[in-house]
Amino acid sequence: MCSTFAVCLVSLFMAAGVAAEDSFVDPLEAPAEASPLAQHSQLLAIARAGSRLVVAGMRGHILYSDDEGRTWSQASVPLSVTLTALSFPTPQQGWAVGHSGVVLHTADGGQNWERQLDGRRTPADMIGFYEGLAAGGDEVAARLVQELPVNWQDGPEQPWLGVWFADGQHGFVTGAFNLMLETRDGGNSWTPWTHRLDNPEALHLNAIERIGTAFYIPSERGVVFRMRDGEERFSALQTGYAGSFFGICGDERVLLAYGLRGTLYASQDQGETWSALPPAIPVALTACTRAADGRFLLAAASGHVVAVAPGANGPVATPRDGAPWPLAGIALAADGKPLGVGMRGIWRAEQ
């Protein structure tokens, strides 16, 4: 069973016939190929950069639209690995993360991207950081020095699954097996945060969001990690669910953690207690956005869009028609209509 939706969806695409090239070229060194079909390729993330929309996905494809998703242009990207998540704290400054430990940065709203980090450099940086702490007697750091190398024993394979930036300087990336980094200088340097999570089993960190006055990270085994303002580490919140959460969204009223088989858990006290909502649809929920009227719209692996609205006894989830293929990301156009990305590229609701 998949514990991250990005891994599940990539496996699905490969099973559907997305085959590797006969002659191998390292995707960390091969620029994303320009193609008129890129907007119909497999895409995993969508974000707003001011008035612009930006999408990203397999083969390093990144595209942008300045007319609310009616037409798209392909960005210049220096590699062709699968990209899993996007963050644009300003209309110009943005970050994309993905497989092979890749972190990309744009300073022009997503038209041109540069590499800031990949998994070939991360092992030495992280292990060196924890060796320094261990030399000062830090027992957790000493354990990490022994445990972390297994993540890269077969090369730079571990993906980043989440990215969040407050502005052009401060941000986090999260990934598989409890890997987490922070930057305070726009990605020029990164500080490990693996020791700052209550995660001794190295559960995957599937996304990261700031909601209200706290950061939240959805994970495996029904765990959501939380760090409130003034705290310096993430604590583990138990929801009562036994499976994986792919994402989390919310506002000052409610948190929604979502995952496999339509699983949707809600908290109305900043994560202290959780309750399961009746599944609106029996397939994975993959992404979430908040509408202007306060509802939340969640993308589903069936292509449906699930609307979550307040009810007399708590949030109520209702499915509605969406794309004719699996969705992995969702956003809103200026007119409030949903846009999605997924197995066959970009979907735009017309009604």
Count: domains in the chain: 1
Q: Please spell the DSSP secondary structure of 280-343, one letter per residue.
A: SSSS-EEEEEE-TTS-EEEEETTS-EEEEE--TTS-EEEEE---SS-EEEEEE-TTS-EEEEET
Bridge partners (DSSP) of residue 104 are 96, 115
**351 pLDDT band (50/70/90 cuts)?**
low
Q: Is residue 192 part of a domain?
A: yes
What residue numbers bound the domain in which 209 lies? 5-120+155-348
* Residue bearing tokens 């009223």: 253
Spatial distance between the Cα atoms of 145 and 155, rounded to a whole number of angstroms? 17
Q: What are phi and psi of 168, to 5 degrees?
A: -75, 5
Q: Is residue 181 part of a domain?
A: yes
pLDDT in tens, 16-74: 444 444 578 899 999 999 999 999 999 999 999 999 999 999 999 999 999 999 999 99
CATH of the domain at 272: 2.130.10.10
Q: Is residue 147 part of a domain?
A: no
- SS3 call for 38: helix
Q: Is residue 128 part of a domain?
A: no
pLDDT at 11 over 70: no
Q: Is residue 102 part of a domain?
A: yes
Q: Is residue 186 part of a domain?
A: yes
> Of 2-6, 99-103, 190-194, where does mean pLDDT reach its minimum?
2-6
User: Pick from 256, 249, 250, 325: which is nearest to 43 by CA?
Assistant: 325
